[in-house]
Every structure is written in C-alpha cells, then in structure tokens.
Amino acid sequence: MTLILVFEIFVLFLAFIFHEKITILLSFLAIFLIFNFLLYSLYISKEREIEFLKENIINIIDDNFTLNIDYYINNKSLDFFQKIFNIKKETKNYKKNLEKESQKLKEILRAIDDIIFVINNNEIILKNKNVDILTYNSKSKKFFDTIKYNSLIKKIKDILISKENIKEDFFLTELNKYYLIESYRLETEPSIIISLRDITITKNFEKIQKDFISNVSHELKTPLTNIKGYTIALEESIENKDDNVKNFFKIINSNINKIDNLIYDFLNYSKYEGFKILNLSYIKAEELINETLFGLTLLINNKNAKIQTNFMLFDENHYIYIDVEKIKLVMKNLIENALIYSSKKPEINIEILEDENSYIFKISDNGLGIPEEERDKIFEKFYRVDKSRPMNFSGSGLGLSIVKEIVHNYNGEIKLTSESGLGSTFYVIIPK
C-alpha cells in the first residue's frame, strides 16, 4: 500500500510539472503569434504608406492636384502632402502669370520703334526685333560676337566699364546715323538695359536750323553795323537838336542795341550748341571777373548796382584752369540777368570756390526771385518769366539756354535756389 501511495504521489507530481510546462509553452506561443501579427500589420501599413507616397508624387509630377487618400495613412503624411499640393498649385499659377507678363513684355518691345536689348554677362537675355539692324544672323547669344559695328561695340564696352547709367547722343559711324543711347542697370541682378533711338532726322534738322540762324545773324550783323554807324554820324551832324530829336535818336540807338544783343545771343547759341571742345588756359579769378564786369559797365552804372566778390581757391594767386571764353560768357549772362531782375539798387555777390574735383561759380542777387513752377523752364530756349520781366528790357530768351549748353558741354552742373521777393542764387559747377 505504501508503494502504491508513493507511486500515486509521484504520478501526481509529474502531472503537475508537465501541466506547468504546457502552460508556459502555450504562453510563449501566444506571444509569438501576437508579435508576428503586429509585424505583419506594420508591414501592411508601411506598404500602403509607400504606395500612397508613390501615387501622390506621380500626381504632383503630372500636375494632377487630386490627393489620393488612404484612411490607413496618418494625418501628418496627409498634411504634408496637402501642403506640397498647395505649393505646387501656387507655383503653377505663378508660372502662368509670369508667362503672361513675359508675353506682354515681348509684345510691348515689339511695338516700340527703339532698339532695346538686355545684357547679362555678355549675353543678350532679352531683345526686340529692331536689334536685328545691328546684328549678324547668328545663333550665338554672346553680345559682342553678334554685333556688326565696331563703334557700337566700343561704346557698349565703355558703358559696361563706367558702371553708371548714361543718356547721351551717339554717332554710329558705320551707318552714318545719330542715336540717343540710354543705359539702365538693374539693382537686383547684374543686367543692363540699353536702348538706342534713331535721332538722325532731328540732328539734321538741328544742323539746318543752326546753320540758318548763323547765316541770318551774320547777314543782319553787317547792315546793322552800317545803320548804327550812320545813325551816330547823323546825330553828330545835326546841331542844336531839340528834345524830340534827341529822344528819337535815343529810341533808335536803344532798338539798334537790342537787335545787336539779339544777334549776339543767336550767334553764341549757334556757336556753342553741342560744341564740346574745350580751350583750357590759366587766368586769375579777379581778372576773369573784371573782364566780365567791364562788358556790363553801362548796365551796372545805370542800375547803380553794388558788386561784391569773394574767392576761396587753393592757389594763393587765385589762378584757375578753365575755358576762359566759355566761362566768361556764362558769368556775363548770369550777372546780366541778376542786374536786370534785381531791385532798383541791386546787390550782386560773385564767388569763385574750389574743391578737389571742381570749380564752383556762385552768383547771388537780391532781386525778384523765380517762382518754383518756373525754375525748371528758365533754361529752355526763348523761355521768359513774363510776370517778373521788366517792361523796359527786351532780351532774346537765349541767355540761360547758352549757359546751360556751355555747362552741359563742359560735363558740369548748374543749380538754382530762389525765394520769391528775396532773390536767387545760381551755382555753376565745372570739373577741373
């Protein structure tokens, strides 16, 4: 019995041990199955996400803005693709608008008669059809490889070297034509816009006009001199002239002088218009002013004018290096205007200053002043400030035009400050 009891206990013990192992084994099996299920789910999810990425990337490339949605894909991926699609749409719309604006620009360029082109690093990146006049039939975009004319190549190279915007007349030797050439540098990129406008007809007309004025002025000068001489002789030959006769001769001489001054201005304008050659020489500043004022002695005395001068120059002897004839005429015209438009007792201040690069000629008066709306116009040919012009003076309207032309040809600058009723100050700045 004892043995049977022991055996039964042993069997129960083995059964208990075997049952624990089965339980553990089943637990491990369950964990393994769960882990594999999770791995498989993750694999399916990633495969779907990859397919989602693939489909929508193809849509983006094809400009198809339909977002293929898979509900198994997380929200972050959806948000990311939605943003990409929005950016793509905006980019496409911007590109369309850019193409429209580019087409408009091309149509505008086609309609303009000027020659227009844009250069960037020696390449023509934009042009209108008129450029063909200047170029070979070449597929090259290199600017200097396509231009036919050496004089234009040289001019464009000078513009590129100068680094400044220009606007000036240019004579194209090979075509025997005048052009107004302008350049404009873009601030945002290293490109330069250049335009050429054919002004040959205008230049030819100006030459005809200039020659006509010069010829007519010369033709008038000789008979006027004779009239002046005979008038003086006639006046001297008449004895015991009464007041009426004296007044008649005064009027005759006054009008002769007006015509003489008019012819003088016409000849000077004709002489200096577009004439850029300078005849430089040294002269003392005092001598320049004294010679200028000598020619205005009668007007200065008649107006009882007070003239003051001041010189601030590097040279202790006050020598300056200028085109004496031209600057003397500039000073004469400005001082004459100051005398004419000043009060009953004019006060004229004349200063000659100097800095490292320039001479500055400053003429101030205590006259009527120039209205602000008139200041840009007074340098135009034949323009007059009628409201302030004294009735007893008749000028040609060319004085300030001559000043502007000389200063321009000198590559200088003229400035004006004025206050109504208090006077004006002209600054003429010329390079050394």
Domain of residue 366, CATH code: 3.30.565.10
* DSSP type of residue 135: B
Position 413 pLDDT exceeds 50:
yes
Tell which residue, 323, 316, 334, 309, has the closest CA to residue 404: 334
Count up the domains in the chain and report the number. 4
Position 75 pLDDT exceeds 70:
no
Check residue 3 and give its pLDDT. 47
Percent of the chain with pLDDT strictly greater than 70? 73
Check residue 1 and give its pLDDT. 47
Domain of residue 158, CATH code: 3.30.450.20
Q: Tell me the average pLDDT across 107-120.
A: 80
User: How many Å separate Cα 87 from the centre of its chain?
Assistant: 38
H or E element in which residue 193 lies:
strand 191-198
CA distance 147 to 160: 15
328, 288 Cβ separation under 8 angstroms: yes
347, 308 Cβ separation under 8 angstroms: yes
Same domain? For 311 and 426 the reply is yes
Cα separations in angstroms, 311 against 16, 192, 308, 359, 412: 128, 43, 11, 11, 20
Percent of the chain with pLDDT strictly greater than 90? 17
Same domain? For 423 and 310 the reply is yes
* Residues 188-241: tens digit of each pLDDT: 778 888 999 999 998 888 778 777 777 777 777 778 788 888 788 877 777 777
Position 391 pLDDT exceeds 50:
no
CA distance 328 to 339: 16
Residue 20 lies in a domain: no
Q: Cα-atom radius of gyration of the chain, to the nearest Å? A: 45
H or E element in which residue 320 lies:
strand 319-323
Residue 217 lies in a domain: yes
358, 429 Cβ separation under 8 angstroms: yes
120/90: higher pLDDT: 120
Look up residue 94 and give its two tokens.
Answer: 């911007």
341/47: higher pLDDT: 341
Residue 22 lies in a domain: no
Residue 18 lies in a domain: no
334, 426 Cβ separation under 8 angstroms: yes
CA distance 431 to 360: 9
CA distance 329 to 323: 10
| Range among 122-136, 289-303, 334-348, 361-375 with highest mean pLDDT value | 289-303
3-state SS assignment for residue 137: coil
∠ at Cα 112 (106, 114), nearest 5°? Answer: 115
Residue 308 lies in a domain: yes
CA distance 299 to 333: 12
Q: Tell me the average pLDDT across 402-429.
A: 88
Q: Tell me the average pLDDT across 397-426.
A: 86
Same domain? For 349 and 400 the reply is yes
133/76: higher pLDDT: 133
176/251: higher pLDDT: 176
Check residue 266 and give its pLDDT. 72
Report residue 12's pLDDT band, with 50, 70 and 90 as the boundaries. Answer: low
Q: Tokens 């911007």 map to which residue?
A: 94
- Domain boundary pick from 198, 227, 246: 198
- Domain boundary pick from 173, 198, 223: 198
* Residues 26-57: tens digit of each pLDDT: 555 556 656 656 665 565 556 666 666 666 66
Domain of residue 261, CATH code: 1.10.287.130
311/262: higher pLDDT: 311
Q: Write out the residue range of the structural domain in which residue 412 sits.
A: 280-431
CA distance 319 to 149: 45
* Residues 235-259: tens digit of each pLDDT: 777 777 777 777 888 888 877 877 7
* DSSP type of residue 54: H
| Range among 52-56, 267-271, 281-285, 416-420 with highest mean pLDDT value | 281-285
* Residues 96-106: tens digit of each pLDDT: 777 777 777 67
210, 227 Cβ separation under 8 angstroms: no
* Residues 179-189: tens digit of each pLDDT: 999 998 887 77
Report residue 309's pLDDT band, with 50, 70 and 90 as the boundaries. Answer: very high
311, 352 Cβ separation under 8 angstroms: yes
Average pLDDT, the chain: 77
- Inter-axis angle of helices 324-340 and 399-409, to 10 degrees? 150
